[in-house]
Amino acid sequence: MKLQRRLQRVIAIVVAMSVGATISAAADEDVGEWSFVVTPQLWLTHVAKNGFVAPTNNVLGGHFATDSEANPIQDDFHSNSEPTHSLNQQWGVQLAAQKGRWTFALAYQFVDFGTQTDVIFEGPPTHYINQDLEPGDVIAREVIDTSRHDVDLATTYLFPDVIPMRLDAALGAGIKLIYTDAARQHTNLSPAAELISSDLGGLYQVCRNGDCARATFQYHVKSTSWMYGFTVPMSVVFHLTDDSTWLVPVNVSPFIGAQSRDDNDVAYNYKYRADGFFDGVKREDGTSFAYGVTSDVTLRWMFTDTFSAYLGMRVQYMKADGEPYLAYGPLIGISARYWPGE
């Protein structure tokens, strides 16, 4: 129900923005004729950081060392994350309606990508379940496979000839909605981690209540995330030739909003009272403030009035709680324009 109410608010905002922009366009004396543009696009993304999921399960390190009060010690462990593939194919399509200086656009993108994180022992040499642990030993590797869906709606207004025959600019407003679905599992288990996983039924601790008194363990867990908010699309277009056959658009779209994440009761860390005693588990889900920016630079060739193609580079940074999302890579697309009146 909360999700339904959230989506209803988003839809209402989009409708209000579109209606207001349409009224403003109709009042413009130079609105011109309607035209429609379809743009398939491919972004080859290198996902350096996966900020749509919680950090690696630090509870795993607590299985290997305890203090004098039998509380888990986690300071002796750290993790590093890296992508499982150098590039991932993020397919997208944009539908745009243009009239005069106004553009109304709807875009959708989809990508599957993976990240992996090694849980590394960094404490003093120790002996645990017939295994000698040395600094730098990998306890286990967590693999996260994520599917991501993006929907963008935006209205922009063009300011032509900011520099006559050489530079145009545009400014707008929009909303962004991102949904991710992630599957997590541990691989490359050390002998000690393999034994613990077999005894417990997995290395993910799932706690339905706050004190984790009736915890269960699982081999695989899932996490979902909604990121939603407002964007401010801004762009400048440099004309490389007098006939505007070759263009260099530079686009920047800041984002501000929120992220709502559901980790299905997985415990990611431990909490302690001021006196040092165990005080339940720390979760990484819930709703938090989010912000980010998407920027791209492309070279576009207008080879006819109807068709154009572009090639360039895109960078995207998104941040809520925990690790940020960072992706970059080459961008390619082709646009086709249609005039209903012709």
231: which strand partners? 174, 255
- As a whole number of angstroms, the distance between CA 270 and CA 281 comes to 4
The DSSP annotation for 240-306 comes to -STTS-EEEEEEEEEEEEEEEEE-TTB--EEEE-TTS-EEEEE---EEEEEEEEEEEEEEEE--SSS
Cβ atoms of residues 64 and 133 within 8 Å: yes
Residue 23 scores a pLDDT above 60 = no
pLDDT tens-digit series, residues 184-207:
998 888 887 888 788 888 888 888
Confidence label for 28 from pLDDT (cuts 50, 70 and 90): very low
Contact 97, 36 (CB under 8 A): yes
224: closest CA among 174, 193, 280, 184?
184
- DSSP labels, 136-167: T-EEEEEEEEEEEEEEEEEEEEEEEEEETTTE
Which helix (H) or strand (E) segment is 45 a member of? strand 34-49
Q: Of 227, 224, 207, 226, which Cα lies nearest the Cα of 216?
A: 207
pLDDT of 6 reads: 45
Q: How many CA atoms lie within 13 A of 9 on its CB side?
A: 9
Asked if residue 68 has pLDDT above 60, the reply is: no
Average pLDDT over residues 280-308: 91
Mean pLDDT of the chain: 82
pLDDT at 7 over 60: no
Number of domains in the chain: 1
The pLDDT score that the predictor gives to residue 202 is 84
CATH number at residue 22: 2.40.128.90
Could you tell me the pLDDT band of residue 65, with boundaries at 50, 70 and 90?
A: low
Share of the chain above pLDDT 90, in %: 51
pLDDT band at 71 (very low <50, low <70, confident <90, very high): low
pTM: 0.82
- Average confidence (pLDDT) over 252-262: 96
130-174 pLDDT per residue, tens: 667 777 788 888 899 999 999 999 999 999 999 998 999 999 999
Q: In this predicted structure, what is the pLDDT of residue 61?
A: 53
| Segments forming the whole domain that contains residue 105 | 2-338
> Is it the case that residue 19 has pLDDT exceeding 60?
no
Instruction: Average the pLDDT over 55-71 and give the result.
Output: 57
